[in-house]
A and B are shown apart, each in its own frame.
Chain A
């Protein structure tokens, strides 16, 4: 499986970096400090005047943050899975629902001067990116007790030794460096010229219904609770990250169109940087889940269960639900904002009709690719 963390075609970045403390390809064990280290950049990244993470090599290429060792480490762990006859968990592109509003819909609104729904959508993206930081609060169970096979020198052994923390910092920023939250805000503010942020974004984010309690009964009640929660979280975040592919393409397309964006060059590039940063997230999560998948888990009732059954079961469940809920939520969110604008006399009724006529269509594939195997 070829690794392509940085979309070099888009941004001409190189994943390798020759630094003073050079990474050693093939090495399997790292300290947290190493997994969090940037190495040196020729120039830092500023987003709308705010210092952000990552930076530029001397040839001007952008290199994502905390990848000096993280990138080769993930490559080495992935190589091991293949060498052991395992395969990497892959969520196929056809599972990714279309972004709502679509690029055309977004441009339609912006050209009509109705910006609020798009400002709202971009703000929600930045807030959700920021919330990604809670991955650092996932409690990692004692895997030595729970896995039958050894797992030294794997991504699993490094989850709470730098991987979760690096992910959290990338999303929400750390100390004086902004992360994706601030970078999306900057892209929004550049393209749409510091729009007023709707003060009720949280109303939409939190919904007006009661909280669904923990999603019902656990899928695998026989699993250690901490382990189950961690696997659910990793799978959910993986699905979100994979779905985000559509969001990046959308953001780049909309924000770098000079007809609707005040700073097409800068705003579009900002989203490309974010996109580049996300690759290590997808890769370490699928690596960790793949490692579980090739192992055997001890259950609380003293029996064992194949990791494959657990990981596939969880991924199937989450994909199945989110493929349906995510486009629906995005659609409701934007449409409601547009309807509010129509009601307030800020948009013509015909705009809503044109908007609806452009709604992206999606043939949801029958299968998720993680269906339980016939016994």
Chain B
């Protein structure tokens, strides 16, 4: 990637930010100055539509980290207006793809043989294209159908540029904001995660590990990996098919019960986090499908991670203390999970837990980490910058709030305690 591209990316991010600013902040400020009321949600709808189109355009153009951000927005129907969700949903799997010629050259270079040698046939049109890679259907010489996940050729450099831009933006922000949220460490986490996702050998290992964990559980499908045709940048795996997990009507049409599907889904992720200590940390709807038999397909093990020993027990104790409003136990659990305060004043933890509970639907903690609650946690921490959060907790919190989002779409709730087997019988 040359300097010009780098300059272009920086320019695109900057001008888009300016456009969004002019759509929202400028009119709001003008209104305040002229004493007119804030725009209603209805009045904002056309603005939202334009703004989300602008964002989508940027994401499709630049991919990389920007897409990651838009994917995050698209899972937050609680926080963002419908037009944002509708538009940015496309970032999960409908990003315009790289032309076949580019892909072909890249795959052949990676595998060290021609496409014809490696595959019986190869679909030129991808099934999906996302932030870092696109996926093509193909058939091997033995007739097995496979999905070929191909990293965008120049993605490694693109990511480096994006991260550099964002680091710069963070520094400016920290300089401007009198009480800045510590964004840089978070960004370094993101950088680490993206580097995991760009290593397909690691992804193949993770997929194998999760498949092994669930070898006795036939509600889970993890596509098999064809190691002999995979490299760090190309991943060939069994082709699977199913319905997207958030398509409630399609699930009903297959004769399945969304509630059962959700229960299985919750069981799988809660099992990984609480029992196995190794988990797929990215359950966004693009990575989850349901087969006609009601099995859950889990895809995309790029972001998979091991949890420290005892994390499950610590998380259980935290949920428990919140459920029973036991403050001494909350402090113990937060501390055991690795939360720290710079001043050593642990009352802060209690205040944080209280704020989270206040945001739950019932005002109590019943076992579900809703998106609102996870957000509240991070808001609370931003306002009280003496607290530092263990990065594993951030990832797990995100998993639970993604699951909660899926549950809401299916018309149910994502209760972690229930998924641990404490559910009502029958």
Interface, chain A (partner B; CB < 8 A): 50, 127, 130-131, 133-134, 137-138, 169, 172-179, 181, 197, 199-203, 205-211, 213-215, 218-219, 228-229, 232-233, 236, 318
Q: Are B328 and A176 in contact (CB under 8 A)?
A: yes
Besides the contacts A175-B325, A211-B421, what 12 more A-B pairs have beta carbons closer than 8 Å? Answer: A50-B328, A134-B422, A134-B424, A173-B326, A175-B324, A178-B326, A199-B277, A199-B313, A203-B276, A205-B275, A206-B271, A236-B426
**A138 touching B324 by the CB < 8 A rule?**
no
Interface contact B323-A172, CB-CB below 8 Å? yes
Query: B424 — which chain A residues lie within 8 A by C-beta?
Result: 134, 138, 229, 232-233, 236
Chain B binding site: helix, strand, loop or mixed by DSSP?
helix
Query: Judging by beta carbons under 8 Å apart, are B425 and A210 in contact?
Result: no
User: Does B327 lie within 8 Å of A232, measured CB to CB?
Assistant: no
Nearest first, the 6 A-B pairs at minimum CB distance are: A210-B219, A232-B426, A203-B275, A131-B422, A202-B275, A210-B217
The chain B residue sitting closest to A322, CB to CB, is: B425
Question: B233: CB under 8 A from chain A?
Answer: no
- Distance in Å from the Cβ of A213 to the closest Cβ of chain B? 5
Given contacts A178-B326, A210-B264, contact A202 B312 (CB under 8 A): yes
Q: Mark B304-343, 1 if CB is under 8 A from A, else 0.
A: 0000011011001000100111111100000000000000
CA–CA, A214 to B426, complex, Å? 5
Check B220–A210 contact: CB distance below 8 A: yes
Chain B residues with Cβ under 8 A from A169's Cβ?
324
Contacts of A201 in B (CB 8 A): 313
> Complex Cα distance A52/B320, Å?
15
Q: A172-B324, A218-B426, A232-B425 are in contact. Are A211 and B267 (CB under 8 A)?
A: yes
Determine if B218 is an interface residue (Cβ-Cβ < 8 Å).
Answer: yes
With A172-B324, A173-B324, A174-B325 given, is the CB distance from A211 to B263 under 8 Å?
A: yes
Q: Which of A131, A174, A210 contacts B267 (CB 8 A)?
A: A210
In angstroms, Cα B323 to Cα A47, docked, is: 20
A134, B366: Cα distance in complex, Å? 8
B10 close to chain A: CB less than 8 A: no
Contact between B327 and A176, CB atoms less than 8 A apart: yes
B74 interfacial contact with A, CB 8 Å: no
Closest to A197 in B: B313
Q: Is B274 an interface residue (CB 8 A)?
A: yes
Chain A residues with Cβ below 8 Å from B264 are: 210-211, 213
Within 8 A of A (CB), among B277-314: 277, 309-310, 312-313
Q: Say whether B420 faces chain A, with CB atoms less than 8 Å apart.
A: yes
* Residues in A neighbouring B320, C-beta threshold 8 A: 130, 172, 181
What's the Cα separation between A214 and B260 when bound, in Å? 8
**Which residues of A lie under 8 Å from residue B310 when comparing CB positions?**
199
Q: Given A174-B326, A176-B327, A181-B320, does the pair A206, B420 have CB atoms closer than 8 Å? A: yes
Closest B residue by C-beta to A214: B426
Q: Which residue of B lies closest to A206 (CB)?
A: B275
Specify which chain B residues have a CB less than 8 angstroms from the CB of A209 in the assembled complex.
216-217
The residue that A200 contacts in the complex, of B220, B275, B421, B422, with Cβ under 8 A, is B275
Bound-complex Cα distance A207 to B274 (A): 12
Instruction: Indicate if the CB atoms of B420 and A175 lie closer than 8 Å.
Output: no
Residues of B within 8 A of A130 (CB): 320
Size range of the interface on B? Answer: 35 or more
Selected contact of A236 from candidates B312, B417, B419, B425, CB within 8 Å: B425
The reply to whether A215 and B312 contact each other, CB–CB distance below 8 Å, is no
Structural contact, A208 and B216, CB atoms closer than 8 A? yes
B91: shortest Cβ distance to chain A, in Å? 31
Residue B418 interfacial (CB < 8 Å): yes
Distance A203 CA – B367 CA, assembled complex (angstroms): 19
In the bound complex, what is the Cα–Cα distance between A200 and B423 (angstroms)? 20
Question: Are A174 and B324 in touch, CB under 8 angstroms?
Answer: yes
In the bound complex, residues from chain B placing their C-beta under 8 Å from that of A138 are 424
Q: How far is the CA of A57 from the CA of B218 in the complex (A)?
A: 55
Q: Determine whether the beta carbon of B327 is less than 8 Å from that of A206.
A: no
Candidates A131, A172, A174, A215; contact of B425 at CB < 8 Å: A215
Structural contact, A229 and B426, CB atoms closer than 8 A: yes
B392 to nearest A CB, angstroms? 14
Q: Whole-angstrom distance from the CB of A239 to the nearest CB of chain B?
A: 10
Q: Return chain B residues, CB-CB under 8 Å to A137.
A: 366
11 contacts between A and B (CB under 8 A): A133-B323, A137-B366, A197-B313, A202-B275, A206-B267, A206-B270, A211-B264, A211-B421, A233-B425, A236-B424, A318-B425
**CB contact between A202 and one of B313, B325, B327 (< 8 Å): that residue:** B313
Task: Return chain B residues, CB-CB under 8 Å to A228.
Answer: 426
B328 CB contacts on chain A under 8 angstroms: 50, 176
- List the B residue with the shortest CB-CB distance to A231: B426
State in angstroms the CA–CA spacing of A218 and B425 once bound together: 10
Give the docked Cα–Cα distance between A177 and B328 (Å).
9
| Interface-centre pick from B264, B267, B421 (highest chain A CB count, 10 A) | B421
**Shortest CB–CB separation between residue B263 and chain A, in angstroms?**
6
Residues of B within 8 A of A203 (CB): 275-276
Instruction: Output the least CB separation between A274 and chain B (Å).
Output: 16
Nearest chain A residue, comparing its CB with the CB of B366 = A137
A56 to chain B, nearest CB (A): 21
Give bound CA distance, A179 to B326, whole Å: 11
Distance in angstroms between the alpha carbons of A127 and B219 in the assembled complex: 26
Shortest CB distance B125–A (Å): 35
Report the minimal beta-carbon distance from B7 to chain A, rounded to whole angstroms.
50
Chain B residues with Cβ below 8 Å from A205 are 275, 420-421
Bound state CA distance, A219 and B219, in angstroms?
Answer: 24
Report the separation of the CA atoms of residues A240 and B34 in the bound assembly, to the nearest whole angstrom.
68
- Which of A137, A172, A181 is the most central at the interface, judged by chain B CB atoms within 10 Å of its CB? A137
Q: In angstroms, how far is the closest chain A Cβ from the Cβ of B223?
A: 18
User: Contacts of A206 on B, CB cut-off 8 Å?
Assistant: 267, 270-271, 274-275, 420-421
Q: Which residues of A sit under 8 angstroms from B367, Cβ to Cβ?
A: 134
Cβ-defined partner of B327 (8 Å) among A127, A175, A197, A208: A175
In the bound complex, how far is the Cα of B423 from the Cα of A267, in angstroms?
31
A236 and B423 CA atoms in complex are apart in Å by 11
How far apart are the CA atoms of A200 and B309 in the complex, in Å? 9
Residues of B within 8 A of A50 (CB): 328
Contacts of A131 in B (CB 8 A): 417, 420, 422
